[in-house]
Amino acid sequence: MGRLVDLFDPETVAVVGATDREGAVGRAILENLRDTFGGDVVPINPSRDEVLGLECYEDVSSAPPIELAVVVVPPDAVAGTLREIGETGTRNVVVITAGFSETGGEGAERERRLREVAADYDLNVVGPNSLGIMSTRNDMNASFGPEDAIEGSISFMSQSGAFITAVLDWANEQGIGFRDVVSLGNKAVLDETDFVREWGDDPDTDVIIGYLEGIDDGDEFVETARAVTDETPIVLVKSGRTDAGAQAASSHTGAIAGSERAYEAGLEQAGVIRADSVQELFDYSRALSGLPEPDSDGVAVVTNAGGPGVLTTDAVGDSTLEIADFEDETIDELAAAMPDEASVYNPIDIIGDADAERFGEALSIVLEDSNVGSAVVVSSPTAVLEYDNLAETIIEKRQAHETPVVACLMGGQRARAAEEVLRDFGIPNYFDPSRAVSGLDALATYRDVRERTIDEPERFDVDRERAREILTRATDRDDNRLGVESMDLFDAYGIPTPDGEIVDDPNRAREVATSIEGDVVMKIVSPDISHKSDIGGVKIGVADEDVYDAYEDLVARARNYQPDATVLGVQVQEQVDLDDATETIVGMNRDPQFGPLLLFGLGGIFVEILEDTSVRVAPIGEDEARAMVDEIQATPLLRGARGREPADVDGVVETIQRLSQLVTDFPSVLELDINPLVAGPDGVQAIDLRLTVDTDELETDPDQ
Amino acid sequence: MGRLVDLFDPETVAVVGATDREGAVGRAILENLRDTFGGDVVPINPSRDEVLGLECYEDVSSAPPIELAVVVVPPDAVAGTLREIGETGTRNVVVITAGFSETGGEGAERERRLREVAADYDLNVVGPNSLGIMSTRNDMNASFGPEDAIEGSISFMSQSGAFITAVLDWANEQGIGFRDVVSLGNKAVLDETDFVREWGDDPDTDVIIGYLEGIDDGDEFVETARAVTDETPIVLVKSGRTDAGAQAASSHTGAIAGSERAYEAGLEQAGVIRADSVQELFDYSRALSGLPEPDSDGVAVVTNAGGPGVLTTDAVGDSTLEIADFEDETIDELAAAMPDEASVYNPIDIIGDADAERFGEALSIVLEDSNVGSAVVVSSPTAVLEYDNLAETIIEKRQAHETPVVACLMGGQRARAAEEVLRDFGIPNYFDPSRAVSGLDALATYRDVRERTIDEPERFDVDRERAREILTRATDRDDNRLGVESMDLFDAYGIPTPDGEIVDDPNRAREVATSIEGDVVMKIVSPDISHKSDIGGVKIGVADEDVYDAYEDLVARARNYQPDATVLGVQVQEQVDLDDATETIVGMNRDPQFGPLLLFGLGGIFVEILEDTSVRVAPIGEDEARAMVDEIQATPLLRGARGREPADVDGVVETIQRLSQLVTDFPSVLELDINPLVAGPDGVQAIDLRLTVDTDELETDPDQ
């Protein structure tokens, strides 16, 4: 068990700032604890002897030993209170008090002091600006929220306290239970990663769910969540997905918005299942908290109603699942057991006069089929069907097989009692067939998360020292961008480039051109000229005899364009045959939360107009690099669509991995684009380079 | 009012086949009518004098005059019963009896006879194989379903009776009311179009909703729905959207599956709002049945909770709406009226201690802002907020402005009473912010439907007789496909083609080539060789002096490939400059339900790999043709992306319209592809043609 057990399961809880003043937060918390908690509750307030019938202490040091302190003192007193708490040896603190970083300057300074004290005493601090925490381990409601949680196996964290209040009220009506609930507040000390780690170690947490507006340390979160999701599914609503939402989230929590693409990639790599709404959050977690894993994607649909059966089938079509293709034996058995009018092909329509027993027979038969990974029972209310009996039948069949079954007993009031019975046995009931299927879909997604193996990033043999020297060139410049003159960076990291050289006199240009077979491409090399083509700074198909004049012309154009431009020379490069090749782009930029974000796409319109790209947080291994290539829409173009010879996809995949290694080795590289990386049948070649270096960071790049 | 008023609002209803036998459908219907209906109920059964205390008649002719007959006699007796009913002058019949086309051969024959009798007596027949109908106009439940509907303004049709049962049970729990409800059954006589027309004429139907698995006559439906949606929104779940679902729907109803693309286009052109699930159906219709239209897309979000506010903002980002940009005055007023800690920028966070009054103040201010087209109130339960008061405040502010407001009072039990109050005033409450926004989104979509003007298809001056002659060529062939030899079809319909001719001797080929400026393209012309390029049957860049030999070579290749191939000659065509042009595809195929389905896309990978196409049901006018060009993802390529000269988009739009006219004029054209239609800066040219003609249909093509 992790280090936060005492936070959720203390024997003694103190409320520092407890009061009996009506409407005060310090009273609400004390009331909640008094009314629910199994352990001792200790009010602390220097101006009271007794609060709500409990003996009150002047300060923490005079109180009996406490394991959890809930702090509701004024903002300026919080740091001092934490110090006192730390002195007594108590390590777990929930700071309810608001008025910290969420309020700007002065508050941010208060929060900095709070963090310092926490570090001095190694305190586990939730908050500040938290609604509090709850745990059904010991019936503890250490929050000022009006609702207690029902016992269950879902642990829930939220960056919004109001979200917790709203969800608990609704969950209580729905009979959905929780293990631990945490209002994260400003996350000054403990953040989402800490709770993911804690609940990953908690055998009684079946599902971790959360509402987050930002993730503080994306890297660490990904690493932690990856390990946890081997055992425990994580379902998150990460809000601020849209531009408008991101702006609202940033003004709500003051978080620097990372890019949605980075969150999308990072959370996916972490194995997190993402929900877009409250409803999805619970539709997924209800299925994940009580059902076994589906061992295949085939879904059996058993229904007494044709129309809802078709709707369910559409929902399966929309999902990652598929309608199971029954074995012949299954169809024979169904045909023997069901009435003639029934449809024994999936979706199975056992028709309107079906009772619970007929549902049971059909369900038994399909759950034996090895092509059936999961099943959904969809029913419309009829005169001959008792929903309570149907619920019991479903439970019985579900328990007899290691196959997940969800229910969609349609209807209103008449479905409620059955729904409750199903819930007690871990079977979610959904009103809408599409939601029932999305529950099954979440199970299959989680199975895939568990089954995937994430290969270790390969460590290619590279010349790191040479790369460092090349990057250091940027320190001598006025600006921190490097271009084609630094193509030797690719050589250092084993990324193929065309033959060529940067030269600074026309005779040398001719020599280089002569050493290269065929015509050459010549480009002006100047950090001051970024759009070379626009000023005629690129010449293609230059024959050896024209190289001298071309050199002179390029330099003249550059001077003409900008008399004081730094001209580093002219690049003379082998002309790559583009007829049978495809231009791709491999790039990287750094996200404030997740770090290096790799991007892949096809060149030109594919990236610029169709926005057909894939992204991953680096470092990545071969499988993930290959997935980047496979998941763009235009990938068939690389694989030999329309009669073309397939490009060297392995070369592209390796280049992505080598770039991943480069940007991981050098945190000083802020942005880097290989554009284009030309992929032909015989290999790949990086043709052009743009990168930005953080010259301050250069010195701190790790050595190895 | 339409012709179906008596169906829904009769004074006397007969149940033909009424019985008091326990469990019989004929009893269930009679009971429902007896218990609910305001008019007279007449049981008819030759072997009873009295049924359930009502005087029973031997047959229809001996009964008092009736306005609606509900028929539950055995399948073979239905046609005869309908004839008797027709003889008495009764025109409205609901056939409950099953065992018709849904059961195959014999049943289909029964249904044919039923249809004949209905035609003879001009009967309005619902069904057969129907659950029945209901109407709250007169508390009539003429069905064997267990639930009565609550009174309301939603009229509801369903191709699945079970769907009605399930939905009514749920709707009763939710307090959602209906006007008329129809179980369509097999739609032998009355179908979805009839009810759309009827309800469009009914001033008390605010929204028409439906569950359909197929639309029988797409054309007529589109025309009818287009007119109706000027006044009354239509929201449909059309199931069978996915391949699996379409297969299931086809086995459920025996309907020939039309293509999902055709439904998508047809329903959109009809102005129908499409829902994918039961939940969406009601989320949309609840908003559409009680709220005014938003006059702009700006949404104001008023909340006491930051997190749910961000979620709402994300939902707006996902929708067609946008977060309203407040006028300065609004921000000033909010700043003055709200506490300092409030965020007065949209989403407005009036913070956790807000009471109903503060919500009301904020709502009043934003509803005055001319950039606000709609508003959503999102609240989390707190100690200081009474939901009942909040509901009253929302109703009051909503009524004081012509702006739609929806509510998202989050929570469970504590929101129920407020929800009911809101509902009584036409304001839907949703638990999930994303659903609240989707309700507003449906309102905006419907406003757009109402506001759009659908331009009449232009009638270009074409040579229809010549086109008919060209199409008739297919009758002389072994197969019914025409190709490049029929390019003069384009000339007849004013679609530009390159200069050229089909010739059948090499000397003539040279003459034609000489008359054309520059090199030419030569293609073998044979109905037996569809993939000309694959056998070397196309030569490009042929100089005049090489034309003779090229001709001989092409013919030799064709003979070599297939000795008995019919060779019509060789096409000698102006070589179109493709450097500055874009290849597009304009095509048509016929859908069994909707008729001619036009398709537009860019050539090559864009259609084949990226599936980036737009479709419309013909005939269409200029606006819709232009929308087809605009809505493909790659459209910037035509408009001059990446420094290219823009293509002649007007020419493309006109070509689509001319093709629309051609395929509307000639129903015998089953499929037609202009591939490619080359679009350059100076115009468009149709380069190649493939079409399939229904030679039997040719004779019945209309003359004008």
Neighboring chain A residues of B253 at a CB cutoff of 8 Å: 306
Q: Do A411 and B169 touch (CB under 8 A)?
A: yes
Q: Are B143 and B183 in contact (CB under 8 A)?
A: yes
Give the model's pLDDT for residue B483.
83
Compute the nearest-CA separation of A483 from chain B (Å): 22
Partners of A316 on chain B (C-beta within 8 Å) are: 242, 244-245
Residue of chain B nearest A241, judged by CA positions? B314
Nearest residue on chain B to A341, judged by CA atoms? B103
> Does A272 reach chain B within 8 Å, measured CB to CB?
no
CB contact under 8 A, B278 and A311: yes
Residue B4 has pLDDT above 70, yes or no: yes
**Interface-testing mutation among B130, B243, B313, with chain A (most A C-beta atoms within 10 A):** B313
pLDDT tens per residue, range B369-413: 999 999 999 999 988 899 999 999 999 999 999 999 999 999 888
Q: Do B317 and A604 touch (CB under 8 A)?
A: no
Question: In this complex, do B412 and A345 lie within 8 Å of one another by their Cβ atoms?
Answer: no
The reply to whether residue A244 touches residue B322, judged by beta carbons under 8 angstroms, is yes
Please determine, for residue A177, whether its predicted confidence score (pLDDT) is greater than 60: yes
Task: Provide the token pair at A108.
Answer: 């941010």
E strands in B304-409? 322-323, 348-349, 374-379, 405-409
Please state which of the ranges A21-35, A564-578, B340-354, B398-412 shows the lowest mean pLDDT. Answer: A564-578
Cβ-defined contact of B162 to A103 (cutoff 8 Å): no
**pLDDT per residue over A85-142, tens digit each?**
999 999 999 999 999 998 878 999 999 999 999 999 999 999 999 999 999 999 999 9
The answer to whether the Cβ–Cβ distance between B633 and A610 falls below 8 Å is yes
Distance between CA atoms of B400 and B396, rounded to whole angstroms?
A: 6
What distance lies between CA B278 and its chain's CA centroid?
Answer: 17
Q: Which SS3 state, helix, strand or coil, does residue B395 take?
A: helix
pLDDT band at B240 (very low <50, low <70, confident <90, very high): confident
What is the token pair recorded at A260?
């949605």
Nearest to A56 by CA among A64, B432, A521: A64
> What pLDDT does residue A253 have?
58
- Chain B from 128 to 147: CB within 8 A of any A CB: 146-147
For residue A262, pLDDT beyond 50: yes
Query: pLDDT tens digits, residue range A270-315?
Result: 999 999 999 999 999 999 998 999 999 999 999 999 899 999 999 9
Q: Which residues on chain A are in Cβ contact (under 8 Å) with B385?
A: none
Q: Which residues of B662-687 are buried (b: 16+ CB within 10 A; e: fewer)?
A: bbbbbbbbbbbbbbbbbbbeeebbbb
Q: What is the pLDDT of residues A590-624, one digit of tens each?
A: 998 899 999 999 987 888 788 899 999 999 999 99
Could you tell me which chain A residue has the CA closest to the CA of B346? A248
Contacts of A609 in chain B (CB under 8 A): 633-634, 636-637, 641-642
* Neighboring chain B residues of A167 at a CB cutoff of 8 Å: 410
Per-residue pLDDT reduced to its tens digit, A415-459: 999 999 999 999 999 989 999 999 999 999 999 999 998 888 999
Q: Which residue has the higher pLDDT, B247 or B297?
A: B297
Q: How many CB pairs under 8 A join A and B?
A: 284
Give the dihedral sign, CA A292/A296/A301/A302: negative
Confidence at residue A434, expressed as pLDDT on a 0 to 100 scale? 94
pLDDT at residue A224 in the model = 96
Q: How confident is the model at residue A703, as a pLDDT?
A: 65
The token pair at A475 is 């320190």
CB within 8 Å: B314 and A242: yes
What value of ipTM does the predicted structure carry? 0.90
Write down the pLDDT at residue A2.
44
Would an 8 Å CB–CB cutoff place B5 in contact with chain A? no
| Sheet containing B273-275, strands listed edge to edge, beginning at the edge strand earlier in sequence | B140-143, B132-135, B178-183, B151-158, B207-212, B234-238, B273-275
**pLDDT for the residue numbered B255:** 52
Which of A29, A96, A183, A313 is the best substitution to test chain B (most B C-beta atoms within 10 A)?
A313
Q: Chain B, 165-184: which have a CB under 8 Å from a chain A CB?
A: 165-167, 169-174
Percent of chain B residues past pLDDT 70, beyond the cut: 98
- Rounded (10°) angle between helices A433-451 and A306-318: 30
pLDDT, tens digit, 9 for 90 and up, residues B253-275? 555 556 889 999 999 999 999 99
pLDDT value, residue B455: 85
Q: Is A253 within 8 Å of chain B by CB?
A: yes
Answer whether A307 sits within 8 Å of B383, measured CB to CB: no
- Say if residues B150 and A393 touch (Cβ distance below 8 Å): no
How far from B328 is each of A296, B301, B332, B335, CA to CA, in Å?
Answer: 57, 17, 6, 11
- Evaluate if residue A1 carries a pLDDT over 50: no
> Among A314, A387, A430, A531, which would you mutate to test the B interface (most chain B Cβ atoms within 10 Å of its Cβ)?
A314
Total residues belonging to chain B: 704
- Digit-coded pLDDT (tens) for B272-309: 999 999 999 999 999 999 899 999 999 999 999 989 99
* pLDDT tens column, B632-683: 998 998 988 777 789 999 999 999 999 999 999 999 999 999 999 999 999 9
Which residues of A, range 27-46, sit inside 8 Å of B by Cβ? Answer: 28
Nearest-Cα distance to chain B for A621, in Å, is 28
pLDDT at A535: 83
Contact B655, B495 (CB under 8 A): yes
**Complete domains list, chain A, with CATH:** 5-239 (3.40.50.720), 292-451 (3.40.50.261), 455-496+578-704 (3.30.470.20), 499-575 (3.30.1490.20)
Confidence at residue A252, expressed as pLDDT on a 0 to 100 scale: 62
Say whether residue B415 is in contact with chain A using an 8 A CB cutoff: yes
Cβ A633–B610 below 8 Å, yes or no? yes
Instruction: Tell me the residue ranges of DSSP E strands in A27-119.
Output: 40-44, 50-51, 54-55, 68-71, 92-95
Average pLDDT taken over every residue of chain A:
92
- pLDDT on residue A237: 96
pLDDT in tens, A538-566: 898 999 999 999 999 999 998 888 888 88
**Residue B306 and residue A382: Cβ atoms within 8 Å?**
no
> From the CA of A642, how many Å to the nearest CA of chain B?
8
Report which of B581, B575, B580 is spatially closest to residue B541, judged by C-alpha positions. Answer: B575
| Tokens of residue A509, six digits | 């240009």
Task: Give residue B2's pLDDT.
Answer: 44
Q: Is A537 helix (H, G, I), strand (E, B) or coil?
A: coil
Q: What is residue B699's DSSP assignment?
A: T
Report whether A593 contacts A262 (CB < 8 A): yes
Residue found under tokens 């449909």: B236
Put simply, the chain B residues between 537 and 596 with a CB less than 8 A from any chain A CB are none
A276: chain B residues, CB-CB within 8 Å: 314, 318, 434
pLDDT at A19: 95
Nearest CA in chain B to A534: B643
State chain B's mean pLDDT as an integer. Answer: 92
Task: Say whether A162 and B305 touch across the interface (CB within 8 A).
Answer: yes
- Helix runs in B545-604, H state only: 547-561
Could you tell me the pLDDT band of residue A671, with boundaries at 50, 70 and 90?
A: very high
To the nearest 10°, the Cα dihedral for B221, B223, B227, B229?
Answer: 50
Q: Which residues of B touch A383 (CB under 8 A)?
A: 23, 28, 146
Q: Is the minimum CB–CB distance between B251 and chain A shorter than 8 Å? A: yes
Looking up tokens 């209580």 gives: A172
The answer to whether B104 contacts chain A (CB < 8 Å) is no
Among B161, B431, B605, the residue with its CB nearest the CB of A637 is B605
The verdict on a CB contact (< 8 Å) between B237 and A410 is no
In this complex, the residue of A146, A278, A307 whose CB is nearest that of residue B158 is A307
Provide, as residue numbers in chain A, all residues whose Cβ is less than 8 Å from the Cβ of B245: 310-311, 313-314, 316-317
Range from A133-137, B102-106, B591-595 carrying the lowest mean pLDDT = B102-106
Contact A572, A509 (CB under 8 A): yes
